[in-house]
Structure 1
Amino acid sequence: MTDTLRRTTLTAVTGLGLCLTLLPAGQAFAQSPTTRVPCNDIPALKAAINQANTSGGRITLASRCTYTLTAPDNADDGLPEITGNVALTGRDTTIRRAPNATQDFRVLHVVSGGTLTLNSLRISGGSLADDNGGGVANEDGTLNLNRTTVRGNHAEMGGGLYNTGGKLNLDRSTVERNTTDAWGAGVFNTGEGTMKMTGGSLRDNRALNNGGGLENISGTAYLHHVSVRGNTALEGGGIRQTLGATLRLKSTEVRDNIAVSGGGMSNNGSTATLVRSLVTRNTAITTGGGIINEADGQVTLTDSRVVRNRPDNCVPQGTIAGCSDPAGRTVPPAAKLPPATDTKALR
C-alpha cells in the first residue's frame, strides 16, 4: 500500500513538473508578487517601485493615507522612473508633492518601454515650471488610470498629464484643477501619442496659453462619456488640437468652458468627429464660442448639437455642416448626453 502511494505521488509530481516546463516563460506563476507599503513610508515605496521595475509586480498602498514627497528621487521626479511593469493600488489614497517642498518635481514619470497602472489613487501637488507633466509624464510608455484623480498639479506643458508618443488610458478618472504656463493644463497629448478616456471628466483646469482641458498636437484622442467642463485657456478653453491631430467625441459634453477664441473647442488643421455629443454654454471673448475651425480643419457632427454658446456657435460660417449659423438659429438633432451622475460620482 505504501509503495503504491509513493508511486502515485511521484507520478503526480513529475506530471506537475512537466506541465510547468511546458508553460511559456513567465506563466508558470500567473500572478505577480504583491508588495504592501505602510502609510507614508516613502523609502519603502521607492524600494517597491525599484523592485517592480526589475521583476514586475503589484504595489498596494495603505487605504485613506497620504504619501507625501518632500524631495525628488532624481532630477525631476518625486518617485523612481517607471521602466518596467508597475501597478500602484490604493483606496482613497493620495500621493503628493509636499506643499512646502523647496524643489520642483513631478510625482511620477514613465519612460520608454515602461508601463504604469494607477488604481483608485489621487496624484496631486506636482510642480515643474520648466518641464512637462506636473502630475505624471509618459514618454513612449503606457500609462493607465483607473478611478484615479489627478488634481492640483502645475507644469510648463501638461499640468496634470503629459503624454508624448505613448499610450494614455483613463477609465472613470478625473483630471481637475491643474494649471500650465503654456499648453494643456489638464492633459497634453502629442508626438503621435494615443489618449483613450472612458467616463470621468476634464474639469476646472486653467492654461495661460492653449488647451484648458486637453491640448492635442499631432496625436489621437478618443473621449467616450466624458464631461469637459469649466476649463479656461487663451484658445480652446475645453479642447484645442492642431498639426494633423485626430479627435473623436462620443456621448460627451463640452460645457461651460471659457477662452479668448474657441470657448468649447479649437480645431486647427485637424480632424474632429462628434457623435451624440453636446457643445453648449461655452464662452469666447472674441469668436468661436462653441467651436472655431481653422486652417482647413474638418469637424463632423453626427447626432450632435452645438448650441447656446456665446457670442456664437461655430465659426467660420459654413465650415461645419449642421452648425452654419453662428447666431444659433439652426438647431441640429438632439444628442444623447452622459448622465449627470457620472460626473457627480467622481467629486
Structure 2
Amino acid sequence: MTAVTNANAAGHGTIRLVPNCNYDFTTAAETGTRGGDALPIITGNITIVGGPSTHIRRTGGGPFRLIEVAAGARLDVVGIFIEGGDAGVFPGGAILSARGTIVLKSVTVRNSTADNGAGIASDSGSLILILTLVEKNTTRHPNGFGGGGAGIYNDGRLETDQSRITRNTANTSGGGIYNEQGGTARLVQTTLDENTARFEGGGLLNGPGGRALLVRTLVKRNTASDGGGIFDRPGPGTVTLVGSLVTANNPNNCRPVGSIPGCS
C-alpha cells in the first residue's frame, strides 16, 4: 500500500480508508524474518482510520499476516475489521508487534491463524485495545507444538478497556490470552468468553513472570483440560481479580487451587 510506504518515509501520517470497502490481499507486500505481511511493515507513527464497515483481509495466496509494527514504531487503528491473516509457523496471524506500540479502537480482529498469537502477538511491545473484539482466531503448528494464545499472545504490556476476547481456539494453552515472560496484562471491563485451549487456561494462561490484573472483568464459559477460566503457572507472577467474576468455565474456573485469590 503506497500510503503506508509514504507515511513510513515521512515518519508519521494518517491514512483514511474508504467506508464500506474491502481491501483484499492475495500476496504479501513485504517479507521479513517472521514471514510475510500484507502491508509494508510499520516503521513510523501512523494512524489508519476506517469505518463504517471497512475491511483489511487476506483472501487467498500463501501464508502471510496483515500488519506488522517494527520496534519503536506506533500504529493506531480505528474502526476497521482485520481478518483472515495466516502467519504460518510465525507469530501474529493478523497483527504482530515486535517491540512496537499498537492501539486498536473499535476494531475487530478475527478468523486468523498462526503458531502463537493467532489474532495478535505482542513481542515485548505495547498493545492497547479499546472497544475492540478479538474473535474466532486459531493457533496451530505442523508438529503439534507451540500454538499458545489464540486470541492474544503477550510478553510485553497489554491493556484492554471495554473489549471482548471470544471463541478463540489454541492447540496448546491460553485460548483467549497467553501472558508470560514479564508480560503485564491489565484487563478493564473486558469479557473473555467461549475460548478453548487444548491444555491449560481456556480464558487466560498466565505463565512464569507474567502479571495479570483483571478489573470488573468477566471470564465465563471458557474450556481447557485444566484451568478452564484461568491457569496461573507456578513461578514468579501473579493474577489479581478486582471486582471481577470467573464463572461457568469447564472443567473448573481457576487452577492451581488457591493460586488466584477470590477464585475457586
Could you state the TM-score of these two structures normalised by the residue count of structure 2? 0.92
Q: Displaced runs of 4+ in structure 1, greater than 3 A?
A: 318-323
Is 1:104 matched up with 2:71?
no
Verify the 8 A CA contact 2:112 2:118 in the aligned structure 1: yes
Is 1:164 matched up with 2:119?
no
**1:82 aligns with one of 23, 32, 42:** 42
Assess, with a 3 A threshold, how the Cα gap between structure 1 residues 74 and 225 changes in structure 2: closer, same or farther. same
Verify the 8 A CA contact 2:175 2:195 in the aligned structure 1: yes
Assess, with a 3 A threshold, how the Cα gap between structure 1 residues 83 and 282 changes in structure 2: closer, same or farther. same
CA–CA separation in structure 2 for the residues paired with 1:320 and 1:170 = 24
1:125 Cα offset (Å):
0.4
1:217 Cα offset (Å):
1.0
Q: How does 1:47-58 map to 2 (within 5 A)?
A: 47-55=2-10, 56-58=12-14
**2:109 aligns with one of 150, 156, 159:** 150
CA–CA separation in structure 2 for the residues paired with 1:128 and 1:81 = 14
- 1:223 corresponds to which residue? 187
Cα offsets for 1:289-336 (capped at 9, x unmatched): 10003xxxxxxxxxxxxxxxxxxxxx2xx545555xx6xxxxxxxxxx
Cα offsets for 1:182-230 (capped at 9, x unmatched): 100000001xx10000011000000010000000012000000000000
AA matched with 1:84: G
> Percent same amino acid at aligned positions?
38
**1:71 aligns with one of 27, 44, 58:** 27
**1:201 aligns with one of 155, 161, 164:** 164
Is 1:259 matched up with 2:224?
yes
The DSSP-based 3-state class of the residue aligned with 1:133 is coil
**1:274 aligns with one of 235, 241, 244:** 241
Q: How does 1:17-56 map to 2 (within 5 A)?
A: 46-55=1-10, 56=12
> Runs of 5+ in structure 2 lacking a partner?
141-146
Verify the 8 A CA contact 2:232 2:260 in the aligned structure 1: no
The DSSP-based 3-state class of the residue aligned with 2:150 is coil
1:102 Cα offset (Å):
2.3
AA matched with 2:39: L
The DSSP-based 3-state class of the residue aligned with 1:51 is helix
Cα offsets for 1:68-89 (capped at 9, x unmatched): 0110012210110000011110
Assess, with a 3 A threshold, how the Cα gap between structure 1 residues 320 and 186 changes in structure 2: closer, same or farther. closer
CA–CA separation in structure 1 for the residues paired with 2:212 and 2:118 = 20
Verify the 8 A CA contact 2:188 2:214 in the aligned structure 1: yes
AA matched with 1:224: V
Could you state the TM-score of these two structures normalised by the residue count of structure 1? 0.70
1:128 Cα offset (Å):
1.7
Say which structure, 1 or 2, has more relative contact order (CA 8 Å, 6+ apart).
2
Assess, with a 3 A threshold, how the Cα gap between structure 1 residues 321 and 178 changes in structure 2: closer, same or farther. closer
CA–CA separation in structure 2 for the residues paired with 1:153 and 1:322 = 34
- 2:15 corresponds to which residue? 59
Instruction: Provide the alpha-carbon RMSD of the alignment.
Output: 1.1
**1:211 aligns with one of 174, 181, 185:** 174
Assess, with a 3 A threshold, how the Cα gap between structure 1 residues 145 and 322 changes in structure 2: closer, same or farther. closer
- 2:94 corresponds to which residue? 135
Assess, with a 3 A threshold, how the Cα gap between structure 1 residues 71 and 319 changes in structure 2: closer, same or farther. closer
**1:291 aligns with one of 237, 240, 254:** 254
Verify the 8 A CA contact 2:38 2:58 in the aligned structure 1: yes
Assess, with a 3 A threshold, how the Cα gap between structure 1 residues 185 and 321 changes in structure 2: closer, same or farther. closer
In proportion to residue count, which structure has more helix?
1
